[in-house]
Amino acid sequence: MSRRPVRFADLGSWSYQRAWDFQESIFTEVVERKSANRKLSEEERIATHDTLLFVEHPHVYTLGKSGDFGNLLADDERLKSIGAEFYRTNRGGDITYHGPGQLVGYPILDLDEYFTDIHRYLRTLEEVIIATLADYGLSGDRSPGETGVWLDVGTPFARKICAMGVRASRWVTMHGWAFNLNTDLRYFEYIIPCGIKDKAVTSLQRELGRPIDEVEAKARVAGHFARLFEVDLVVTPADRLLGA
């Protein structure tokens, strides 16, 4: 049985707004295709496309739709002084930071082709990062009731290395994860990350005590994503992802 293809593009460094708009356009095309297919016979239906985007953002803080604005500790003047932007978003979760040295992943998947279970979807995304950490000799874990991937869960030293927040409509997903590779962790001092006051944030660089080869890390994450979702990643130029 052939594996489902997923179009894969590493966008490089894009502003948060540009990447959000790009995601929304792909997401909308998939949702509209599914709506149109419901009016067609099985023979007439056109298959939906799945997409995985890798991207790095300039310094930015984003707040989920149910998040608490009070978890942003910097005013407009301070944001300007540290070169950071702020956005309210339509994803789940609270506030987080994106910036250089961080691997942000945005899967835009039609879950009708996999499993219609958001809980399972999030746990699978977490497993992608947990498996990647294992490649580096680290034991990643889940923290009960707190989405994302952590180290030393259940101890006073618990710390988050990957945040997650997604949106889904008609079983189509967008947004995703933020995995700290060589991230400047000082930027987390201006927020209460994910609204969690009693746990720290870390990066792969801090845990290993050396700079991370980001090309290698991306390849490991992509490989585990393909394995766990049982798909084939097909490298696709960004300008070919819309209108297909």
User: pLDDT tens for residues 78-132?
Assistant: 999 999 999 999 998 889 999 999 999 999 999 999 999 999 999 999 999 999 9
* Number of other residues whose CB lies within 10 A of the CB of residue 88: 11
Do 160 and 185 touch, CB atoms closer than 8 A?
A: no
Do 114 and 229 touch, CB atoms closer than 8 A?
A: yes
Q: What is the phi/psi pair of residue 125, to 5°?
A: -60, -45
User: Does residue 85 form part of some domain?
Assistant: yes
Domain holding 209: CATH number?
Answer: 3.30.930.10
Give the closest residue to 71 by CA, choosing from 227, 236, 192, 202.
192
Do 99 and 183 touch, CB atoms closer than 8 A?
A: yes
User: Does residue 149 form part of some domain?
Assistant: no
Q: Which two tokens stand for residue 203?
A: 């990066």
User: Does residue 152 form part of some domain?
Assistant: no
User: Region 39-48: what's the mean pLDDT?
Assistant: 88
Q: Which one of 6, 104, 130, 194 is the catalytic residue?
A: 194
- List all residues 6 or more positions away from 69 whose beta carbon is below 8 Å from its beta carbon: 63
User: Does residue 155 form part of some domain?
Assistant: no
pLDDT tens per residue across span 133-179: 999 999 999 999 889 999 999 999 999 999 999 999 999 999 999 99
User: Does residue 113 form part of some domain?
Assistant: yes
User: Does residue 233 form part of some domain?
Assistant: yes
User: Does residue 146 form part of some domain?
Assistant: no
The answer, yes or no, to whether residue 244 has pLDDT greater than 70, is no
User: Does residue 21 form part of some domain?
Assistant: yes
User: Region 63-68: what's the mean pLDDT?
Assistant: 90
Do 168 and 111 touch, CB atoms closer than 8 A?
A: yes
User: Region 188-203: what's the mean pLDDT?
Assistant: 83
194 in catalytic set: yes
The answer, yes or no, to whether residue 197 has pLDDT greater than 80, is no
Q: What is the average pLDDT score of the chain?
A: 95
User: What is the domain extent for residue 8?
Assistant: 4-120+163-240
Number of domains in the chain: 1
Do 108 and 23 touch, CB atoms closer than 8 A?
A: yes
